[in-house]
Chain A
Amino acid sequence: GEDVEQSLFLSVREGDSSVINCTYTDSSSTYLYWYKQEPGAGLQLLTYIFSNMDMKQDQRLTVLLNKKDKHLSLRIADTQTGDSAIYFCAESEDNYGQNFVFGPGTRLSVLP
Protein backbone atom coordinates (compact mmCIF):
# COMPACT_ATOMS: atom_id res chain seq x y z
CA GLY A 1 0.00 0.00 0.00
CA GLU A 2 0.91 3.64 0.02
CA ASP A 3 3.62 4.75 2.41
CA VAL A 4 4.85 8.16 3.49
CA GLU A 5 8.13 8.52 5.37
CA GLN A 6 9.63 11.42 7.31
CA SER A 7 12.54 11.85 9.66
CA LEU A 8 11.14 12.04 13.19
CA PHE A 9 13.12 14.92 14.70
CA LEU A 10 14.73 18.19 13.60
CA SER A 11 16.37 20.88 15.75
CA VAL A 12 17.33 24.30 14.43
CA ARG A 13 18.37 27.62 15.94
CA GLU A 14 15.99 30.56 15.87
CA GLY A 15 16.51 32.58 12.70
CA ASP A 16 17.94 29.67 10.71
CA SER A 17 16.09 27.88 7.93
CA SER A 18 14.43 24.52 8.60
CA VAL A 19 14.07 21.86 5.94
CA ILE A 20 11.70 18.99 6.61
CA ASN A 21 11.82 16.11 4.16
CA CYS A 22 9.25 13.54 3.10
CA THR A 23 9.25 10.61 0.71
CA TYR A 24 6.22 8.78 -0.62
CA THR A 25 5.66 5.65 -2.64
CA ASP A 26 2.32 6.14 -4.40
CA SER A 27 2.91 7.13 -8.03
CA SER A 28 -0.69 8.21 -8.40
CA SER A 29 -0.44 10.82 -5.65
CA THR A 30 -2.05 13.91 -7.02
CA TYR A 31 -1.97 16.24 -4.04
CA LEU A 32 0.72 16.57 -1.40
CA TYR A 33 0.23 18.50 1.81
CA TRP A 34 2.03 19.83 4.82
CA TYR A 35 0.14 20.03 8.12
CA LYS A 36 1.33 21.56 11.39
CA GLN A 37 0.21 20.28 14.78
CA GLU A 38 1.02 22.20 17.93
CA PRO A 39 0.85 20.42 21.30
CA GLY A 40 -2.71 19.53 22.26
CA ALA A 41 -4.14 21.00 19.07
CA GLY A 42 -5.62 19.75 15.82
CA LEU A 43 -3.93 19.78 12.45
CA GLN A 44 -3.50 23.04 10.59
CA LEU A 45 -3.05 22.93 6.83
CA LEU A 46 0.08 24.92 6.00
CA THR A 47 0.26 24.42 2.27
CA TYR A 48 -0.34 21.93 -0.51
CA ILE A 49 1.11 21.29 -3.95
CA PHE A 50 -0.20 19.53 -7.03
CA SER A 51 1.92 16.76 -8.44
CA ASN A 52 2.37 18.71 -11.69
CA MET A 53 4.19 21.52 -9.84
CA ASP A 54 7.85 21.64 -8.82
CA MET A 55 7.76 24.43 -6.32
CA LYS A 56 5.34 26.54 -4.36
CA GLN A 57 6.21 29.53 -2.19
CA ASP A 58 3.99 31.09 0.42
CA GLN A 59 5.62 33.76 2.60
CA ARG A 60 8.23 31.95 4.76
CA LEU A 61 7.27 28.53 3.40
CA THR A 62 8.75 26.94 0.29
CA VAL A 63 7.63 23.51 -0.90
CA LEU A 64 9.80 21.59 -3.35
CA LEU A 65 8.56 18.49 -5.14
CA ASN A 66 10.76 16.02 -7.00
CA LYS A 67 8.19 13.76 -8.57
CA LYS A 68 10.78 11.47 -10.15
CA ASP A 69 12.29 10.69 -6.75
CA LYS A 70 8.92 11.00 -4.94
CA HIS A 71 10.51 13.49 -2.56
CA LEU A 72 8.78 16.47 -0.97
CA SER A 73 10.38 19.08 1.24
CA LEU A 74 9.16 22.00 3.33
CA ARG A 75 11.56 24.87 3.95
CA ILE A 76 10.72 27.37 6.67
CA ALA A 77 12.78 30.54 6.39
CA ASP A 78 13.76 32.54 9.49
CA THR A 79 12.44 29.85 11.82
CA GLN A 80 10.82 31.18 15.00
CA THR A 81 10.09 29.55 18.35
CA GLY A 82 6.40 29.58 17.39
CA ASP A 83 7.25 27.19 14.57
CA SER A 84 8.04 24.45 17.10
CA ALA A 85 5.47 21.73 16.37
CA ILE A 86 5.01 18.41 14.62
CA TYR A 87 4.87 18.66 10.84
CA PHE A 88 2.97 15.98 8.93
CA CYS A 89 3.45 15.29 5.26
CA ALA A 90 0.36 13.76 3.59
CA GLU A 91 -0.56 12.61 0.13
CA SER A 92 -3.81 11.79 -1.58
CA GLU A 93 -5.14 10.98 -5.00
CA ASP A 94 -8.05 13.37 -4.60
CA ASN A 95 -8.56 16.76 -3.07
CA TYR A 96 -11.08 16.04 -0.39
CA GLY A 97 -9.07 13.85 1.90
CA GLN A 98 -10.90 10.57 1.78
CA ASN A 99 -7.70 8.84 0.84
CA PHE A 100 -5.18 10.78 2.88
CA VAL A 101 -2.02 8.95 3.84
CA PHE A 102 -0.10 10.75 6.55
CA GLY A 103 3.58 10.42 7.32
CA PRO A 104 4.69 9.79 10.92
CA GLY A 105 5.39 13.47 11.54
CA THR A 106 8.61 15.42 12.13
CA ARG A 107 8.99 17.10 15.51
CA LEU A 108 10.64 20.48 14.91
CA SER A 109 12.36 22.04 17.91
CA VAL A 110 13.50 25.64 17.58
CA LEU A 111 16.29 26.58 19.98
CA PRO A 112 16.72 30.21 21.09
Chain B
Amino acid sequence: DTEVTQTPKHLVMGMTNKKSLKCEQHMGHRAMYWYKQKAKKPPELMFVYSYEKLSINESVPSRFSPECPNSSLLNLHLHALQPEDSALYLCASSQERIGGSPNYGYTFGSGTRLTVV
Protein backbone atom coordinates (compact mmCIF):
# COMPACT_ATOMS: atom_id res chain seq x y z
CA ASP B 1 0.00 0.00 0.00
CA THR B 2 1.67 3.19 -1.19
CA GLU B 3 -1.21 5.60 -0.76
CA VAL B 4 -2.42 8.30 1.55
CA THR B 5 -6.21 8.06 1.81
CA GLN B 6 -8.30 11.07 2.73
CA THR B 7 -12.00 11.14 3.60
CA PRO B 8 -14.36 12.63 2.78
CA LYS B 9 -13.45 13.79 -0.73
CA HIS B 10 -15.94 16.65 -0.54
CA LEU B 11 -17.46 18.38 2.49
CA VAL B 12 -19.92 21.25 2.75
CA MET B 13 -20.41 22.65 6.23
CA GLY B 14 -22.07 25.60 7.88
CA MET B 15 -20.18 28.06 10.02
CA THR B 16 -21.64 26.60 13.21
CA ASN B 17 -20.94 22.97 12.35
CA LYS B 18 -18.28 20.68 13.76
CA LYS B 19 -16.72 18.24 11.32
CA SER B 20 -13.54 16.22 10.97
CA LEU B 21 -11.25 15.40 8.07
CA LYS B 22 -9.49 12.05 8.15
CA CYS B 23 -6.20 10.85 6.70
CA GLU B 24 -4.75 7.34 6.76
CA GLN B 25 -1.54 5.73 5.55
CA HIS B 26 -0.10 2.25 5.98
CA MET B 27 3.40 2.84 4.65
CA GLY B 28 5.00 2.98 8.09
CA HIS B 29 5.64 6.70 7.71
CA ARG B 30 6.23 8.45 11.02
CA ALA B 31 5.68 12.03 9.83
CA MET B 32 2.27 13.30 8.72
CA TYR B 33 1.23 16.73 7.51
CA TRP B 34 -1.80 18.90 6.85
CA TYR B 35 -1.70 21.44 4.03
CA LYS B 36 -4.28 23.98 2.90
CA GLN B 37 -4.50 24.83 -0.80
CA LYS B 38 -6.59 27.69 -2.14
CA ALA B 39 -7.57 27.73 -5.81
CA LYS B 40 -4.67 28.43 -8.16
CA LYS B 41 -2.22 28.64 -5.27
CA PRO B 42 0.46 26.27 -3.99
CA PRO B 43 -0.16 24.25 -0.83
CA GLU B 44 0.53 25.95 2.50
CA LEU B 45 1.77 23.89 5.44
CA MET B 46 -0.53 23.93 8.47
CA PHE B 47 0.63 21.18 10.83
CA VAL B 48 3.38 18.58 11.08
CA TYR B 49 3.25 15.50 13.29
CA SER B 50 6.42 13.55 13.90
CA TYR B 51 6.14 10.28 15.81
CA GLU B 52 2.57 11.25 16.74
CA LYS B 53 3.67 14.49 18.36
CA LEU B 54 2.85 17.90 16.94
CA SER B 55 6.17 19.36 15.87
CA ILE B 56 5.17 22.31 13.72
CA ASN B 57 2.09 24.51 13.86
CA GLU B 58 2.33 27.27 11.28
CA SER B 59 0.24 29.82 13.23
CA VAL B 60 -3.03 28.23 12.22
CA PRO B 61 -6.25 29.56 13.84
CA SER B 62 -7.60 27.49 16.73
CA ARG B 63 -10.75 26.67 14.79
CA PHE B 64 -8.52 24.02 13.15
CA SER B 65 -7.50 21.32 15.62
CA PRO B 66 -5.25 18.44 14.53
CA GLU B 67 -5.10 15.06 16.16
CA CYS B 68 -2.82 12.08 15.56
CA PRO B 69 -4.37 9.09 17.38
CA ASN B 70 -1.70 6.70 16.09
CA SER B 71 1.08 6.50 13.55
CA SER B 72 -1.30 5.65 10.70
CA LEU B 73 -4.05 8.19 11.29
CA LEU B 74 -4.28 11.94 11.21
CA ASN B 75 -7.43 13.95 11.81
CA LEU B 76 -8.25 17.61 11.39
CA HIS B 77 -11.15 18.77 13.53
CA LEU B 78 -13.06 21.78 12.24
CA HIS B 79 -15.24 24.10 14.29
CA ALA B 80 -16.74 27.53 13.66
CA LEU B 81 -15.06 27.90 10.28
CA GLN B 82 -15.37 30.94 8.05
CA PRO B 83 -16.18 31.02 4.32
CA GLU B 84 -12.56 32.00 3.61
CA ASP B 85 -11.51 28.61 5.03
CA SER B 86 -13.01 26.97 1.94
CA ALA B 87 -10.10 25.21 0.22
CA LEU B 88 -8.58 21.86 -0.68
CA TYR B 89 -7.08 20.27 2.43
CA LEU B 90 -4.23 17.94 1.65
CA CYS B 91 -2.69 15.34 3.91
CA ALA B 92 0.81 14.00 3.31
CA SER B 93 3.14 11.56 4.99
CA SER B 94 6.84 10.76 4.83
CA GLN B 95 9.58 8.79 6.44
CA GLU B 96 11.74 10.61 8.89
CA ARG B 97 15.22 11.34 7.60
CA ILE B 98 17.23 8.13 7.55
CA GLY B 99 20.88 8.94 7.14
CA GLY B 100 20.11 11.45 4.42
CA SER B 101 18.45 8.86 2.21
CA PRO B 102 16.49 10.46 -0.62
CA ASN B 103 13.87 7.75 -0.43
CA TYR B 104 11.78 9.63 2.05
CA GLY B 105 8.61 8.65 0.22
CA TYR B 106 6.82 11.95 0.71
CA THR B 107 3.30 11.18 -0.49
CA PHE B 108 0.24 13.40 -0.77
CA GLY B 109 -3.39 12.30 -0.52
CA SER B 110 -5.99 13.44 -3.04
CA GLY B 111 -7.41 15.97 -0.63
CA THR B 112 -10.75 16.96 0.85
CA ARG B 113 -12.45 19.83 -0.92
CA LEU B 114 -14.09 21.85 1.85
CA THR B 115 -16.78 24.45 1.28
CA VAL B 116 -17.92 26.58 4.20
CA VAL B 117 -21.32 28.19 3.73
Chain A interface residues (CB < 8 Å from chain B): 31, 35, 40-45, 48, 50, 88, 90, 94-98, 100, 102-105
Classify the interface of chain A: helix, strand, loop or mixed.
Answer: loop
Tally inter-chain residue pairs, CB-CB below 8 A: 61
Chain B interface residues (CB < 8 Å from chain A): 4, 6, 31, 33, 40-43, 45, 48, 55-56, 90, 92, 94-97, 100-102, 104, 106-111, 113
Contact B102 A88 (CB under 8 A): no
Question: Inside 8 A of A102's CB, which chain B residues have their CB?
Answer: 42-43
Extra 16 A-B pairs, beta carbons < 8 Å, given A42-B90, A42-B111, A105-B40: A40-B111, A42-B4, A43-B43, A45-B106, A45-B108, A95-B101, A95-B104, A96-B95, A96-B97, A97-B33, A97-B92, A98-B33, A98-B45, A98-B48, A98-B55, A104-B41
Closest residue on chain B to residue A88 by CB atoms: B42
> In angstroms, how far is the closest chain B Cβ from the Cβ of A90?
8
